[in-house]
Structure 1
Amino acid sequence: MILLMRKGERMLYPYAEFPGRLIVTYTQPLKDKNGAVKVEVNFELPTDDGFSEARYTLPDYSCLYNDGFTPSETKRNEKILHNNAKLILAAAREKEETNA
């Protein structure tokens, strides 16, 4: 299994690569400053100038940031997030158990 990590960021695990080179990754469950458990889900799309990137949290579907995605691409990303939330959360919990 390939683990993706950027300098200074949390470990990202691959979830899926969709047509058009959209890559979706996720973190293991994390506690926020209030103690709530969240999973961060990252969407990344290579462009001629680098990457478009967006990050959301589950289970609340909050957008942490969105850099470079068009409104239609954002809508697609959010649809993917909603349609795959249960699977992503289950995979994140499995990572937590594996790494414990």
Structure 2
Amino acid sequence: MASPDQDPETSCNDPAVLETAKSLRDAWAKPGVELPPRGKVEVIGVTGDGPVITVPDTAITLDGRTLRSLELIGGSGDSKSFTLTLNVEKRDGAWYVADLNLGV
């Protein structure tokens, strides 16, 4: 999570962060899914009052398809233990991804 003195925009433009994001994008590219998404992205059923909110992949939709269903395109085997959540943090009225949590 970013510390209070870190600027999220500066952190997100760090070359190491950009390379990690590109690697994830390339690794998770799915047939029939255009990146960046041109459809409507929504978060459904997530509420909170704190400065950091955890958002599960099942609550994020792109054109009505959950992020979880998109993650599993082409997947094989037992995917029940796979989890992805985002911790989002509100700063200056805007929400930023503060942490991405993968579990298997």
Q: TM-score band (shorter)? A: 0.3 to 0.5
Higher-Rg structure is 2
TM-score between both structures, scaled by the size of structure 1: 0.33
Query: Greater RCO between the two (CA within 8 Å, min separation 6)?
Result: 2
User: Of Structure 1 and Structure 2, which has the larger fraction of its residues in strand?
Assistant: 1
TM superposition score normalised by structure 2: 0.32
